[in-house]
Structure 1
Amino acid sequence: MSDTTGTPGTLGDPTGTTTPLGDTTGILDEALERLHATGPERLGRLTNHAPMAVEALVHRGQAPAVHRWLDRYAHKLEEPPPPSRPVTAADWREALGDPARATDWTAFFTRELDGRPWREVLAEWWPRLLPGIAGGATHPAIRTGHAVRTLLTSPETAPRRAELAHALGYWAARHLPLPALTPLAAAPTAAAALEAVPPIPEQDGPMLGRLGRLTAFPVWGTAPDPDTARARLVELVTAATHRYATHGHGEPIMLVHAATAPNAVLRALPALPRELWAPSLAAAWTAAAAVTAAYTPAEAEPYTKTDLTPQEVFERAAAHGDDHTIKFTDTALDVGDPLALAAAVRSVELNPPVF
């Protein structure tokens, strides 16, 4: 068993949870190069989770398992959509939110990242993309968080920079602002806010249809300064991860995003200007609340504590093989406390295994 899963529990500090400065085997770059010949989705709506899952596997010391995992996932991969016409700095607004332009958007961000430092490109586009964080069931934002973590914690390589282009391109193509929502009474904590989110009236159909039925959220997710915003984002990721232990049964796959989406935002904060931290918190809260409203069950269920170490929990998730389980367990290890580890084990129990 590998002993390079990193130190758990350093939520919001990507440098505290990684193996020694990246993957020295080159496996991550190999995997990304394989994946960059494929599209961001299949069947017109289902996300390609492989780039996120392989990043988590490598980050947690499971690089030797990556190519085997990819071989098993390969039947879910499709070719990218055909290019249409180039996205430009002058007309990008008309292409925003058009999934048919995903390849055009990836090409645009590839050009941007070839010409400027990646942090500069990210800072420019982050506030433009944040309002559409719920698009693609939050997967584009999550993919961006994984790409940013890699760039923050390991040497910059062409495949890692290209992965950020693919992630940002997917986010731009699936950009989807939520409908106007009625503010409800303010909640004192993130956990209380998630508990107070009203479920949508009819919990059926894909997430895109469910988002259109959102009506109101509790007031939470504001901050007067960047440091408070970061602290509250940590609180939100922790609360959403904990909540999965008791509510994940409502929809075991989709409810992981209530934690992984805000954690993707949290992972990006160190690369962003501090003035973007407060709006990042607000968007992360919106994403977590939207997923909670769309899929939360009527009743909580008890959970079982685990005696497994963080390393053992992640190894169990990697052996299980489900992409959502791997990504959620990666987030749970960022939180790192006993309830988060129990939630990760719950995700292994609830989601169907791949291997």
Structure 2
Amino acid sequence: MSLTQSSTPSDTSGTLDEALERLHSFGPEREGWLSNHAPMAVEALVRHGQAPGVHRWIDHYRGRLEDMPVPFAEVTPENWREALGDPRRIADWTRFFVRETEERPWRAVLAEWWPRLLPGIAAGATHPVIRVGHAVRTLLDTEENAPRVAELAHGLGYWAARHQPLPELSAQAPAADAAAALDAVARVPDQSGGIRARLGQLTAFPVWPDRAVTGPDAARERLEELVRAATHRYETHGHGEPTMLVHAATAPNAVLRTLPALPGGLWAPSLDAAWAASAAVTAAYAPERPREPVPDGVVPTAEELFARAAAHGDDHTIKFTDTALDVGDPRALAAALRSVEMNPPTL
């Protein structure tokens, strides 16, 4: 079973480009580590027919935005290794990738840097890879232009500056499928701290897939399976932390969205990193017990559901509903309904 394709952007007014240009004067974080979700949310809003409300949404979100940090020291092809994972270099990394994507095709830049950044997929609570996934989806589905390529540069720059490898992990027993693997992920012992403290407690994950993945097509199919399983799981387990647990699905979906822009040889490593990211978020925030599924007959249509998410206004809810619509089946829509119900509205 493959994921359904989400709708292509219906906006012909230039709203997305205006929004991205407006947002590129701001940094990717606020208060030192909280992520700026606006570029990702507005991409999803435009894609699902909500372009008329985008600027109003940004106006409301404006209080969460901070200016781009001041430059610290230039990142170059010679010194990039020492700058990797240094959050003081956010502006420097962003400038580096803006230059790179102005001078070379964005696909070439992505193919070069994806394997360098992939081991740090947990960076910024997985927000950088999610931002890259939204940017690549737009570039693949629509006309390339300066604001859309610049958005990819901003996402890559954020990822490089926050690059964060997971701890060395041992292997637990293999799991037969993605759902079973997520069920077998052990909760971290101390769930009192933030995500960085929680990720530092990781020691082992179940082996999944339970056999070697050979070839790009198999990697894509397993990644689709993971996105589906993580989205479904939110319906019954999202209450563990309704905001943070959306990333167990949206992070691997960002990787899935990026695959078509990557050489086939990078697809299997991308699957491995996506599994690690989804499992890490699951371990960090999973509840002790599941809750009952959404009752039959109460889930609206996909279009109605995304309209509810847009009216709700919460950035994580918008992005998770966007991923649920990619999956497209009744359980995924029920999970999206849960995100609307559990996350506090902002509009």
Q: TM-score, normalised by structure 1?
A: 0.95
- Report what 2:8 is aligned to: 19
Alignment of 1:214-253 (within 5 A): 214-221=202-209, 223-253=213-243
Runs of 4+ displaced beyond 3 Å = none
* Preserved CA contact (<8 Å) 2:132 2:155: yes
Deviation at 1:10, TM superposition (A): 6.5
- Report what 2:290 is aligned to: 300
- Report what 2:256 is aligned to: 266
The one of 105, 109, 112 aligned to 2:100: 112
- Report what 1:173 is aligned to: 161
* Preserved CA contact (<8 Å) 2:299 2:333: no
Gaps of 5+ in 1: 1-8
Residue identity in the other structure for 2:260: P
The one of 279, 286, 290 aligned to 2:276: 286
Would you say how many aligned residue pairs link Structure 1 and Structure 2? 343
- Report what 1:82 is aligned to: 70
Deviation at 1:157, TM superposition (A): 1.0
Residue identity in the other structure for 1:195: D
Partners of 2:145 and 2:259 in 1: CA distance: 21
- Report what 2:125 is aligned to: 137
Partners of 2:2 and 2:315 in 1: CA distance: 22
- Report what 2:244 is aligned to: 254
Look up the SS of the partner of 1:37 in the other structure: coil
Percent of aligned pairs sharing the same letter:
69
Look up the SS of the partner of 1:51 in the other structure: helix
Residue identity in the other structure for 1:17: S
Q: 1:63 to 1:344 in 2, by over 3 A?
A: same
Matched, 1:50 2:38: yes
Residue identity in the other structure for 1:280: S
Matched, 1:316 2:304: no
The one of 336, 340, 343 aligned to 1:344: 336
- Report what 2:85 is aligned to: 97
Residue identity in the other structure for 2:148: R
Deviation at 1:18, TM superposition (A): 3.0
Look up the SS of the partner of 2:56 in the other structure: helix
Look up the SS of the partner of 2:193 in the other structure: coil
Partners of 1:102 and 1:220 in 2: CA distance: 34
Alignment of 1:174-193 (within 5 A): 174-193=162-181
- Report what 1:123 is aligned to: 111
- Report what 2:21 is aligned to: 33
Residue identity in the other structure for 1:253: T
Look up the SS of the partner of 2:171 in the other structure: strand
Q: TM-score, normalised by structure 2?
A: 0.97
Q: What does the per-residue CA deviation read over 1:265-317, in whole Å, with 9 as the maximum and x for residues that have no partner?
A: 00000000000000000000000000000000000001214341100000000
Residue identity in the other structure for 1:289: A
